[in-house]
Amino acid sequence: MTAELRTEGISKAFGGVHALDDCSLTVAEGSITGLIGPNGSGKTTLFNIMTGYERPDSGAVYLAGQNITGASAQKVFGLGMGRTFQLTRIFPRLTLLENMLVAAKPSRERGGLLARAGGTVDRRRARELLEFTGIDQYANALAGTLSYGQRKLLELATVLAADPAIVLLDEPAGGVNPSLIQTIAARIRDLNARGTTFLIVEHNMEFVMGLCHQVTVLDYGTVVAAGPPEIISTDPRVLDAYLGAALDDEPSPDGADA
């Protein structure tokens, strides 16, 4: 199956706030694509629209050529698009293994946005995925005891349980300690080498520029640049819109790993 993800002219307003304005981007099949931009530029809103958590006011989303605009989160998930959240959605009072085994699907009945997407797996596959993400030694610990970065790895493992063709990661490195950031980057590279497509929102420029094949830049809900990282990192519009502003956008130390 192909995993090209494309948006065409997406606009979305919340009251008077224009979160997205005529936003078009393409995530090529097999790529690791980055989505960057200052705080409030619309990155998470675009993720929510692409994954069925929000409806656009106008515009369209295509997955593998199929128009999925307005499809439910459950439907989109079933079509092979997995995602993680800026604030991880794991169950802190369940063990890691239990988190893996619980098939929580996004649905209105389960509280809509509170639920997360995870596949149904057996114990063996659950252990394999915990091993792959490097947290299997904590399999029987409560997820609430994990560090911030380990929670991100657990959430990634639960998403991988569904064998998604494309994975959207919202700030996978935010607040994570440097050694775990390396682990997260390595796992993304492994998965990509085996064919998984990625779209990654991240403020850590070293992470984005080192990992991504293509980078799209949002500013005030509009795409201001798109291209390979070496071009993007020197584009004057990007420096102006983002890298200058990034100095004021350091993530808060809250939740950072000790």
Ligand X SMILES: Nc1ncnc2c1ncn2[C@@H]1O[C@H](COP(=O)(O)OP(=O)(O)OP(=O)(O)O)[C@@H](O)[C@H]1O
Q: Give residues in contact with ligand X (CB under 6 A).
A: 14, 17, 19, 37, 39-45, 86
- The least CB distance from residue 45 to Mg ion, in Å, is 8
Whichever of 96 and 218 has its CB closer to ligand X, that residue is 218
CA–CA distance, 227 with 117 (Å, rounded to integer)? 30
- The least CB distance from residue 221 to ligand X, in Å, is 7
- The least CB distance from residue 188 to ligand X, in Å, is 19
By CB under 5 A, is residue 44 in contact with Mg ion?
yes
The listed partner (Mg ion, ligand X, none) that binds 45, CB under 5 to 8 Å by sort, is: ligand X
Q: At a CB cut-off of 8 Å and minimum separation 6, what does 169 contact?
A: 83, 84, 156, 188, 198, 199, 200, 201, 202
Work out the end-to-end distance of the chain between its first and last CA atoms, rounded to an integer number of angstroms.
41
The listed partner (ligand X, Mg ion, none) that binds 172, CB under 5 to 8 Å by sort, is: none
CA–CA distance, 56 with 60 (Å, rounded to integer)? 8
Q: Of 9, 81, 1, 90, which is closest to residue 47 (Cα–Cα)? A: 81
- The least CB distance from residue 47 to ligand X, in Å, is 8
Whichever of 43 and 116 has its CB closer to Mg ion, that residue is 43
Whichever of 69 and 86 has its CB closer to Mg ion, that residue is 86
The listed partner (ligand X, Mg ion, none) that binds 39, CB under 5 to 8 Å by sort, is: ligand X
Contact of 7 with 33, CB cutoff 8 Å: no
Please give the structure tokens belonging to residue 198: 């990625």
58-63: strand order across its sheet: 17-27, 5-14, 58-63, 66-67
Whichever of 86 and 192 has its CB closer to Mg ion, that residue is 86
By CB under 5 A, is residue 204 in contact with Mg ion?
no
Contact of 237 with 212, CB cutoff 8 Å: no
Whichever of 33 and 99 has its CB closer to Mg ion, that residue is 33
β-strands 32-36, 222-227 pairing: unpaired
Q: Considering only 39-47, 70-78, 113-121, 233-241, which stretch makes contact with Mg ion by CB under 5 A?
A: 39-47
The listed partner (ligand X, Mg ion, none) that binds 116, CB under 5 to 8 Å by sort, is: none
Whichever of 39 and 145 has its CB closer to ligand X, that residue is 39
Q: Of 40, 129, 51, which is closest to residue 83 (Cα–Cα)? A: 51
Q: Which residue is nearest to Mg ion (CB)?
A: 44
- The least CB distance from residue 53 to Mg ion, in Å, is 12
Q: Of 98, 145, 166, 146, which is closest to residue 126 (Cα–Cα)? A: 98
For Mg ion, the binding residues in 72-131 under the rule CB under 5 A are 86
